[in-house]
């Protein structure tokens, strides 16, 4: 999730008035949302790896998966989930009734020895809803989870500062034996959390009709969870969906942290974000969402000399930063700067340097981003539809487009992300090739960090007639970073996004007529990433004839053609089919 893009909506009038007078503010919930929700899963079922994780990854959300260490969980499968951002937590060694005190430490140590994850094991979910001693929990974990709060005399939804006892965090049971069975049940609880400005959690075992191993109690309809996550994605500006341990860390850090202005000028501001609650359980280094008042219209940011994302909305600069993670420096010129007191340097950047998990390697810019080549699992796609091309295993609406593919079956709010490698900093002209059979034009947004452009998708009466539209220019930093393509209207197809500009060593011919008569011409065709896609000898009297003679099997798009005849210098021109 791109937390820096979410904006604050005051839960109460008093809260709004109080916030409005603060020069800098830490958000109650990540992204200045209004409430939080956590989905937790007990027993380490096979279906958690094979069925639950893909559903969460589809929407870009992460859950908490609680393992019983002696029940032979799929360690490699859960490690893969941890690598993708899910929280792997403890559900004891033997699922005792009750769980003995010594298993608080032993199960934690076992999982930490098997699973590598950013924050270690910080959550314990009690088997049979019966907790060991509070001291054994608090000495080993950030949070201990019970079952329904109402079963133990506490609210089912915690307030903004969490429960009164962190060894008794409630989670409402789902499934056939629980109170939460349908999508509406899930979304109803999340709506209450938003209204109350609080935090709701769910407790799930296995799923109906899936391979659940020991997780046979109170099976849940997985489609109900899918529907709940779809609803959450549509209301992402209001509800923060995150693992239980991460939410707990955020609350504790937010209550303890202080953001202090260190220096300020017309073009630069620096801050420190600190707390003193780190201990042997956790460094409490989960990012906090911050906003500071400013009249700037452009911003970039660093923490400890490294670029972080920042954005501007309604007179505030928004960014996420790690407590005790080094000085935060904001610059009004859109170029990342370093605090004068620091020895660290960084290249100018319009966005945070970043790299995802590219499908076919980072895409070089200048060049063309094929929409179907989004990073692995880096998308939010609401419709479970595609053309069955088998081009992607993580198929988010891939459709046939001419001789190639495109992204389709889209819904407003869907997005795709791509790792790009910008070869030279500067301005790039952006062109989008898209299609729609809607009754009106639609649009998409192309963004890299804080730089964004909207591009129209022209209505040509069907989804197979693609039209190129120049969207404008984006100013990009050099290096690897994440491009996001956001769909703004339903039922739009996107074939590619082309970037032209700095470093593009393509000569544009003013004329395509050669000064020799017809003859045998050697032609080489390259894509916009510089890869040779076709080579042939054709009989022609002009570059135009040569292009027509060689492009028959090429898909629509832009190419570079190098051509020449014996005894003469070769020519290079940009061509389009």
Where does residue 409 fall: left (phi above 0), alpha (psi -120 to 50 degrees), or beta otherwise? left
What is the structure's pLDDT at 518? 64
Which residues face 400 on adjacent strands? 405
Same domain, 300 and 434: no
Query: pLDDT at residue 31 above 60?
Result: yes
Sign of CA dihedral 218, 221, 226, 230: negative
Structural domain includes residue 351:
no
The Cα–Cα gap between 483 and 420 comes to: 7
Q: In this model, does residue 349 exceed pLDDT 60? A: no
Give yes or no for a contact between 268 and 340, defined as CB atoms under 8 angstroms apart: no
Whether 225 and 136 share a structural domain: yes
pLDDT digits (tens, 9 = 90+) for 536-547: 888 877 777 788
Per the domain annotation, does 84 fall within a domain?
yes
* pLDDT exceeds cutoff 80 at 159: yes
Encode pLDDT of 453-466 as tens digits.
999 998 888 888 88
- Is residue 490 assigned to a domain? yes
Q: How confident is the model at residue 529 (pLDDT cuts 50, 70, 90)?
A: low
pLDDT at 178 over 90: yes
> What Å distances lie between residue 271 and 8, 65, 266, 321, 326, CA to CA?
20, 36, 15, 10, 9
For residue 144, the domain's CATH number is 3.20.20.370
Q: Is the pLDDT of residue 350 over 50?
A: no
pLDDT of the residue at 263: 93
Owner of token pair 């989870």:
145
- Cα radius of gyration (the chain): 27
With a cut of 90, say whether residue 297 has pLDDT above it.
no
State the residue range of the domain holding 473: 363-501
Same domain? 41 vs 149: yes
| Domain shared by 196 and 52, yes or no | yes
pLDDT given for residue 313 in this prediction: 87
At residue 319 the predicted structure's pLDDT band, cuts being 50, 70 and 90, is very high
DSSP string covering 233-247: HHTTTTEEE--HHHH
Mean pLDDT over all residues of the chain?
85
3-state SS, residue 141: coil
Q: Which residues contact 519 (CB under 8 A, 6 or more apart)?
A: 539, 540, 541, 565
Mean pLDDT over 556-570 rounds to 72
Give domain status of residue 187, yes or no. yes
The 10 Å Cβ neighbour count of residue 494 is: 29
Residues 9 and 51 grouped into a single domain: no
Please tell me whether residues 44 and 113 are part of one structural domain.
Answer: yes
First to last CA, the chain: 37
Compute how many other C-beta atoms are within 10 angstroms of the C-beta atom of residue 321.
25
315 in a structural domain: yes
Strand extents, DSSP E, 356-441? 363-365, 367-370, 379-380, 398-401, 404-407, 415-422, 426-436
**DSSP code string of 447-484:** EETTEEEEEEE-B-SEEEEEEEEEEEEEEE-SEEEEEE
Examine the pLDDT at 558 and tell me if it is beyond 80. Answer: no
Across the range 523-540, mean pLDDT stands at: 79
Claim to verify: residue 244 and residue 148 sit in the same structural domain: yes
Residues 268 and 306 both lie in one domain: yes
What is residue 16's predicted lDDT score, i.e. its pLDDT?
Answer: 35
pLDDT tens-digit series, residues 95-138 = 999 999 999 999 999 999 999 999 999 999 999 999 999 999 99
Mean pLDDT, range 228-235, rounded to an integer: 92
Mean pLDDT over residues 149-169, rounded?
94
pLDDT at 503 over 50: no
Of the candidates 86, 120, 114, which has an alpha carbon nearest to the alpha carbon of residue 377?
Answer: 86
Domain CATH number, residue 496: 2.60.120.260
Residue 352 lies in a domain: no
Check whether residue 184 and residue 146 sit in a common domain.
Answer: yes
| Tokens encoding 376 | 């692995």
| Domain end call among 346, 374, 408 | 346
In a domain, 438, yes or no: yes
Same domain, 107 and 243: yes
Which residues in 105-126 are b (16+ Cβ under 10 Å) and which e? ebbbebbeebbebebbbbbbbb
Judge if 85 and 223 occupy the same domain.
Answer: yes
Domain end marker among 321, 346, 371: 346
Number of domains observed in the structure of the chain: 4
pLDDT digits (tens, 9 = 90+) for 36-88: 999 999 999 999 999 999 999 989 899 999 999 999 999 999 999 999 899 99
Does a structural domain hold residue 59?
yes
**Tens digits of per-residue pLDDT, 427-445?**
888 999 999 988 888 999 9
pLDDT at 248: 98
Percent of the chain whose predicted confidence (pLDDT) is above 90 = 57
Last residue of a domain, one of 346, 373, 390: 346
Tell whether 527 and 473 lie within a shared domain: no
């Amino acid at each position: 999730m791109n937390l820096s893009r979410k904006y604050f909506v005051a839960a109460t009038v008093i809260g709004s008035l109080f916030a409005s007078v603060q020069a800098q503010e830490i958000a109650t919930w990540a992204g200045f949302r209004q409430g939080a929700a956590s989905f937790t899963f007990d027993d380490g079922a096979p279906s958690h790896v094979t069925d639950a994780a893909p559903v969460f990854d589809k929407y870009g959300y992460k859950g908490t998966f609680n393992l019983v260490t002696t029940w032979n969980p799929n360690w490699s499968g859960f490690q893969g989930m941890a690598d993708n951002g899910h929280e792997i937590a403890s559900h004891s060694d033997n699922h005792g009734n009750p769980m003995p005190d010594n298993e608080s430490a032993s199960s934690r140590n076992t999982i930490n020895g098997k699973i590598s994850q950013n924050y270690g094991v910080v959550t314990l979910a009690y088997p049979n809803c019966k907790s060991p001693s509070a001291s054994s929990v608090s000495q080993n974990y950030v949070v201990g989870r019970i079952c329904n709060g109402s079963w133990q005399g506490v609210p089912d939804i915690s307030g903004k500062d969490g429960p009164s006892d962190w060894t008794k965090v409630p989670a409402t049971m789902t499934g056939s034996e629980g109170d939460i069975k349908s999508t509406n049940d899930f979304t109803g609880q999340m709506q209450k959390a938003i209204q109350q400005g609080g935090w709701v959690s769910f407790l799930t075992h296995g799923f109906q009709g899936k391979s659940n191993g020991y997780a046979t109690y109170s099976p849940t309809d997985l489609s109900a969870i899918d529907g709940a996550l779809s609803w959450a994605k549509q209301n992402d500006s209001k509800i923060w969906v995150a693992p239980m341990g991460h939410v707990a860390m955020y609350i504790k850090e937010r209550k303890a942290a202080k953001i202090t202005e260190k220096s300020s000028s017309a073009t630069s501001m620096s801050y420190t974000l600190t707390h003193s609650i780190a201990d042997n359980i956790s460094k409490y280094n989960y990012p906090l969402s911050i906003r500071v008042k400013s009249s700037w219209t452009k911003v970039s940011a660093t923490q400890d000399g490294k670029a972080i994302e920042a954005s501007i909305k309604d007179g505030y600069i928004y960014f996420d930063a790690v407590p005790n993670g080094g000085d935060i420096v904001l610059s009004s010129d859109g170029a990342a700067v370093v605090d004068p007191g620091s020895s660290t340097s960084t290249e100018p950047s319009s966005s945070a340097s970043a790299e995802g998990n590219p499908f076919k390697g980072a895409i070089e810019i200048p060049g063309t981003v094929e929409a179907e080549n989004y990073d692995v699992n880096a998308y939010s796609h609401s419709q479970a539809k595609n053309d069955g091309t088998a081009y992607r295993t993580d198929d988010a609406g891939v459709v046939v487009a001419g001789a190639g593919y495109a992204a389709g079956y889209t819904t407003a709010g869907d997005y795709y992300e791509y790792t790009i490698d910008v070869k030279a900093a500067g301005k790039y002209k952006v062109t989008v090739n898209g299609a729609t059979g809607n009754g009106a034009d639609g649009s998409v947004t192309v963004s890299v960090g804080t730089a964004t452009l909207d591009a129209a998708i022209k209505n040509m009466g069907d989804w197979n007639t693609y039209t190129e539209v120049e969207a404008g220019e984006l100013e990009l930093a050099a290096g690897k970073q994440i491009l996001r393509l956001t769909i703004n209207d339903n039922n739009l197809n996107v074939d590619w996004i082309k970037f032209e500009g700095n470093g593009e060593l393509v000569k544009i011919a003013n004329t395509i007529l050669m000064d020799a008569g017809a003859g045998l011409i050697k032609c080489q065709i390259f894509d916009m990433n510089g890869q040779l896609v076709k080579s042939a000898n054709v009989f022609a009297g002009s570059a135009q004839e040569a292009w027509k003679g060689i492009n028959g099997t090429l898909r629509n798009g832009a190419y570079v053609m190098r051509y020449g005849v014996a005894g003469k210098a070769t020519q290079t021109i940009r061509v389009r089919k």
